[in-house]
Amino acid sequence: MSFQAPKGTFDWMPPRSQWALAVRDALSAPARRAGYGYIETPVFEDTGLFSRGVGESTDIVTKEMYTFESRGGQSLTLRPEGTASVVRAVLEHGLYGGPLPIKLWYSGSYFRYERAQAGRYRTFSQVGAEALGAEDPALDAELIVLAVDGYAALGLTGVRLLLNSLGCKECRPAYRAALQDFLRGLDLDEATRQRVEINPLRVLDDKRPEVRAQLEGAPLVTDHLCGACKAYHEEVRGLLTAAGVRYTDDPRLVRGLDYYTRTTFEFLHDGLGAQSAVGGGGRYDGLSEMIGGPPLPSVGWALGVDRTVLAMEAEGLVAERSGGLDVFAVPLGEEARRRIFPLVCDLRREGLAVDMAFGGRGVKGAMKAADRSGARYALILGDRDIEAGAAQVKDLTTADQTAVPLAEVVDVLKGKLS
């Protein structure tokens, strides 16, 4: 009997998996430099957290959540997104009673039962950042800039930023009514008609061509913004321009979750085909109240690790990388293995990346392994070397080889690699 990864999932395997780690590090680094602290939440939560926070009418809640009943009878759901969990944790631990805004970043796996296709998986990885407890256009702009800087650090040049405002509870009702009037006149299936009555903005996010073709004349939310929302949006736009960030205003942009208000944005990469979004986010000023907390205006984003790696591959930025080794140790014989092992441990403790030949390989096989490892230096020890009290340090790039006293091996290699 053989097992395979479930449909819609995949394994990150070396050497490609190194790029997933590099993406996580690059996307989170700007947030860490900006004072965002790390948070880690459970991979499953009370189902009500997502149904109330994400939205009863969203595809995520109605079609895509992995929900199960615990042995204690509680309905639990594998997290389909990260923001609701972060807000829950902030409320549960009372962080909103301290200095504001609360700046947090996170990274992890998320789960949605979606139609499996390239760039759309049933388990996927994201890096996210949230700033909670302040209604300030500079926070919106800061988070967007942090994401832009993360993509730039990876060398990506094809990421596009779309920007919009969804208004607030003061001006959205009038837009909602105008949008409903428009949508009721379209040729839509029954399920979509029900969505028009529950949450008409969700219809604007429909990806089906037959629906999108009918949305050309839909009213725009930007035409219904109140004065405060217009001023807020203009401030965000001005701050982004001042920071040198290029963006495209997209008055039809909505996000797939119910909690978004005002600023909303999406990062696209045209090299990914239909699944072109590599990240996105926005402001969610009412989410805390939706899940039973006090008013806590907030803004954040989530950036896809999987799709960012795909974007890098589309731009030719992902090359075969070595294992990142500095030294590969080659013991020739049992006594050499016993002598070289503590040297390997000492080199690692000094911060060098070191591997060694295992399995009693002969000199030819061991040296082939050293060449394949991508290490800069080979550390070779045989019986004659032991008698001489020295090891051979071979530069695998130039093939130069030098005898180094065993007591000096660690210092010499540290000096060569510093």
What's the pLDDT tens digit per position in 60-81?
A: 887 899 999 999 999 999 999 9
Residue 116 has pLDDT above 90, yes or no: no
Selected residue with higher pLDDT from 33 and 172:
33
What's the pLDDT tens digit per position in 227-257?
A: 999 999 999 999 999 999 999 999 989 876 6
pLDDT at 319: 77
Confidence of residue 322 (pLDDT cuts 50, 70, 90): low
Which region holds residue 346: left if phi is over 0, alpha if psi is between -120 and 50, else beta?
alpha
Peptide bond preceding 6: is omega within 30 degrees of 0, i.e. cis? Answer: no
**Residue of 366, 382, 368 lying closest to 333 (CA atoms):** 382
What's the pLDDT tens digit per position in 289-314?
A: 999 999 999 999 999 999 999 999 99
pLDDT at 205: 79
Q: Which of 266-275, 307-316, 395-404 has the lowest mean pLDDT?
A: 266-275
Alpha carbon distance 217, 341 (integer Å): 72
Alpha carbon distance 231, 239 (integer Å): 12
Q: Nearest 5°: phi and psi at 41?
A: -110, 165
pLDDT at 359: 87
Name the pTM for this structure. Answer: 0.89
CB 417 within 8 A of CB 350: no
**Residue of 368, 387, 377, 395 lying closest to 329 (CA atoms):** 377
